[in-house]
């Protein structure tokens, strides 16, 4: 009975088909339900919406953090929405544990914003800055230790300390339906097309078309994705 209820609730929240692995025991499921109801209570209290907040989650500039239904934020994650457009989540998004999403790195020149599309899943220990603007398209899945840096320090003046020369910003964009491996870094100005795969550990900078596999330091196109027809 409890398994049927959980399946029904998950399908309602995620708005997609879902089945429960038969190896999950009723006791494990009961523990999961208690944990999720606790996280839901935190979401209602602190974000005033149907969201699931893990323990130790910290929120700054909450009015500039906007989400659709079924947002899941992992334990000890920090969200700071201070910026022009704040942090905007689509429906059914998740951010892993110990992550940091901060729009602005400076109070003297606040950042633009972070926009995350529907059904985006981000792994543990992600660091996403939003100074120059970050867009991640819907249905993209992202591994742990994801790092996003949409700004660069100016360095052209040898007579002035680098930290005093200011920054320049272009922004970063990732298309929908991408798969980004663990420990990938996206540098300012990166544009990744739809349907791309980025190999684990890659450092990405530049423009990449749709449906390619990217890898390396610095990242380059390894090959194109093609449909394989089963015979």
Q: Which residue has the higher pLDDT, 11 or 172?
A: 172
**Dihedral sign, Cα of residue 90, residue 96, residue 98, residue 99:** negative
Token pair 């196109």 is found at: 221
- How many CA atoms does the CB half-sphere of 207 hold within 13 Å? 2
Per-residue pLDDT reduced to its tens digit, 93-147: 999 999 999 999 888 889 999 999 999 999 999 999 999 999 999 999 999 999 9
pLDDT attached to residue 112? 96
pLDDT attached to residue 170? 96
Q: Which residue has the higher pLDDT, 194 or 35?
A: 194
Please name each of the domains of the chain with its CATH number: 49-224 (2.160.10.10)
Per-residue pLDDT reduced to its tens digit, 170-224: 999 999 999 999 999 999 999 999 999 999 999 999 999 999 999 999 999 999 9
Among 127, 135, 149, 153, which one carries the catalytic annotation? 153
The CA distance from 99 to 155, in Å, is 29
CA 165 to chain centre: 30
The CA distance from 218 to 202, in Å, is 7
- Asked if 153 is an active-site residue, the reply is yes
């Amino acid at each position: 009975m409890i398994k049927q209820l959980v399946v029904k609730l998950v399908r309602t929240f995620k708005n997609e088909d879902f089945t429960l692995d038969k190896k999950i025991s009723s006791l494990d499921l009961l523990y999961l339900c208690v944990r999720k109801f606790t996280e839901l209570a935190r979401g209602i209290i602190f974000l005033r919406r149907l969201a699931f907040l893990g323990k130790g989650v910290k929120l700054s500039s909450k009015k500039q953090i906007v989400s659709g239904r079924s947002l899941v934020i992992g334990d000890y994650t920090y969200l700071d929405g201070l910026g022009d457009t704040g942090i905007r989540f689509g429906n059914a998004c998740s951010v892993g544990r110990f992550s940091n999403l901060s729009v602005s790195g400076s109070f003297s020149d606040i950042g633009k914003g972070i926009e995350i599309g529907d059904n985006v899943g981000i792994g543990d220990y992600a660091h996403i800055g939003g100074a120059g603007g970050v867009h991640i398209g819907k249905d993209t899945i992202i591994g742990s230790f994801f790092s996003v840096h949409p700004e660069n320090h100016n360095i052209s003046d040898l007579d002035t300390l680098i930290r005093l020369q200011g920054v320049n910003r272009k922004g970063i964009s990732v298309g929908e339906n991408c798969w980004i491996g663990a420990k990938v870094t996206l540098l300012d100005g990166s544009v990744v097309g739809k349907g791309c795969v980025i190999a684990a550990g890659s450092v990405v900078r530049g423009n990449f078309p749709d449906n390619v596999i990217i890898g390396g330091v610095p990242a380059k196109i390894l090959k194109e994705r093609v449909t394989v027809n089963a015979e």
